[in-house]
Amino acid sequence: MSSYNAPFEIHVHGQVPLRADASFEQLQEALKPLWKYAGARSLADGAASAYEEEPGIRFDAQEHLLQMCWTVRGDEDFRQSLDEMCMSLNELAEQGAAIEVTFYDTDFDEEEEDEGAESRDDFVMLFVGPTPAAIMQVQRDLLVQDVVNMMERHFDGAELGGVVAEIDKLFSQRFDALVNSLEIGKPPRGPGGPTGGHGGTSGGRRPRHLH
């Protein structure tokens, strides 16, 4: 499909802290679903955004940071590329991170809006991280920020400690449920039982604040 008649302009935005040993070659492979979708043959070839004023996809080797402010023209099938990218980035991420993806409907115009038609614009928030705990930490922090910002219109920030505690409780329950689901079917440990293997959540550490 030609990029000129693509129904969406898709903007990918975010910063992902990477492991110190993550190489450009590994990152290029992890981001292959993106640059290949754009019709490029390498990350260097596909890193440029559809808009010159956007920095595109950048790898800061000194700071071990992936920075994305990148637009590509495409369709709904781009979502599959995003899923594949996130799975690969999990292996390279040092910390949890959020990636914002916005789908802009290029076929929609103001005349259609006046006639009652609705745009197909969409917004997706994706999360990557080395462990489920790291991903949940980012989700928790963003939710707390959104809730506090909204409620501070009506309450002083010092009054919202109970609200934050309830959010932490919800994430603690989700984290415990995940750990329990991963424990099902594992052989019992103890005298005479297996002692090797990986347990729980690839580290099993509870996210900060979730006590």
If asked whether residues 96 and 158 sit together in one domain, one would say: no
Asked whether residue 187 carries a pLDDT value surpassing 90, the answer given is: no
If asked whether residues 156 and 122 sit together in one domain, one would say: no
If asked whether residues 95 and 24 sit together in one domain, one would say: yes
- Specify the CATH number for the domain of residue 68: 3.60.90
If asked whether residues 36 and 77 sit together in one domain, one would say: yes
Residue type at position 56: G
Sheet holding 65-74, edge to edge: 56-60, 65-74, 8-17, 97-105, 122-128
Percent of the chain with pLDDT over 90: 61
Tens digits of residue pLDDT in 44-82: 999 999 999 999 999 999 999 999 999 999 999 999 999
Domain boundary among 83, 101, 130: 130
If asked whether residues 114 and 138 sit together in one domain, one would say: no
Asked whether residue 208 carries a pLDDT value surpassing 60, the answer given is: no
Q: Which domain holds residue 38?
A: 3-130
If asked whether residues 116 and 15 sit together in one domain, one would say: yes
Tens digits of residue pLDDT in 3-48: 567 899 999 999 999 999 999 999 999 999 999 999 999 999 999 9
Query: Which two tokens mark 195?
Result: 């002692």
If asked whether residues 15 and 107 sit together in one domain, one would say: yes
If asked whether residues 23 and 122 sit together in one domain, one would say: yes
112 or 24: which leads in pLDDT: 24
